[in-house]
Amino acid sequence: MTSQLEQLKAFTTVVADTGDFKQLAQFTPQDATTNPSLILKAVQKPDYAPLLADTVAAHRGESLASIVDRVLVRFGLEILKVVPGRVSTEVDARLSFDTQATVARARHIMALYEAAGMGRNRVLIKIASTWEGIQAARVLEQDGIHCNLTLLFAFAQARACGDARVQLISPFVGRIYDWYKKSAGAQWDEAANAGVNDPGVRSVSRIYDYYKQHGVRTEVMGASFRNVGQILALAGCDLLTISPDLLAQLQAADGNSPPVVRHLTPPASAQAPEAQMSEATFRYELNEDAMATEKLAEGIRLFAADAAKLDALIEAQR
């Protein structure tokens, strides 16, 4: 029997979540995603240190922000030699509340890809799902620059992304799971909250069902997984972005493992789209969701901290 990874690919587009492009080929993913933390982790490995040094040396006269973007794009270009589909490259999380600056940085990243001969159809710009980030994505999508809205925890964020007609969203499964498990403390029942009952899985399933029922064309890509069970419970989702460690577990699961069953399926008929969400409604609904409010803020802080560390590595070589 084929591995669980190959069975999953029959229902869902598998995406690798890594900056370590030398690991990719063995899993044959369609796409790949990166973020500041993954790139920071990669450039500190001996295999990738020369890539960082060469990029910095070639562009020492440019601003720090420009060199950072060049490093991100260099990784993206190497990844695109391995995957046949798209790569996601993230805008600096420190710009998460500045629409104009996010648009400008995204355009710069895409210009670097295009200067290297890479078409827009193979690049997604990752942006945090703040109100400002979603509005930046709205502008970019109208310009033909497709976006991946990340750090998505709340249904309100998903609705606003659909309104903005973004290409793809990345709702975070594992971090939602983490919050509810920590909140429950000793009362947490792991078995009762596993598989399709996992709070992160339920969140993605709700978004998927809403998009399909209302004809929202935005792609849903589950992200941030803690275990294989969460992944398999979302079989049928448009895409799933998975770390190399979990991809390896899926690949190793063969005939002795349970077969992969599709859990998410588009409805037979669609409903009319709902009215667009206002900024006030978005902010209020996000505020009412304690988990999403806390995890969004925490995610931006963590990505911003790693972006600052990457800045420091580059500054040391300028």
Looking at the chain, the whole-number percentage of residues with pLDDT higher than 90 is: 92
Domains and CATH numbers, the chain: 4-315 (3.20.20.70)
The string of pLDDT tens digits covering residues 284-304 is 999 999 999 999 999 999 999
309 noted as active-site residue: no
Residue pLDDT, tens place only, 18-61: 999 998 999 999 999 999 899 999 999 999 999 999 999 999 99
Q: What token pair was written down for 122?
A: 């193979």
**Is 257 a residue whose pLDDT tops 90?**
no
Q: Are 165 and 193 in contact (CB under 8 A)?
A: no
pLDDT of residue 270: 79
Residue 93 near residue 34, CB atoms below 8 Å: no
Each residue's pLDDT tens digit, 118-136: 999 999 999 999 999 999 9
Average pLDDT of span 170-194: 98
Prediction pTM value: 0.96
SS3 at position 222: strand
Residue 8 to residue 101: CA distance in whole angstroms: 38
- How much is the pLDDT for 318? 81
Catalytic residue among 22, 45, 126, 309: 126
Beta carbons of 52 and 317 less than 8 angstroms apart: yes
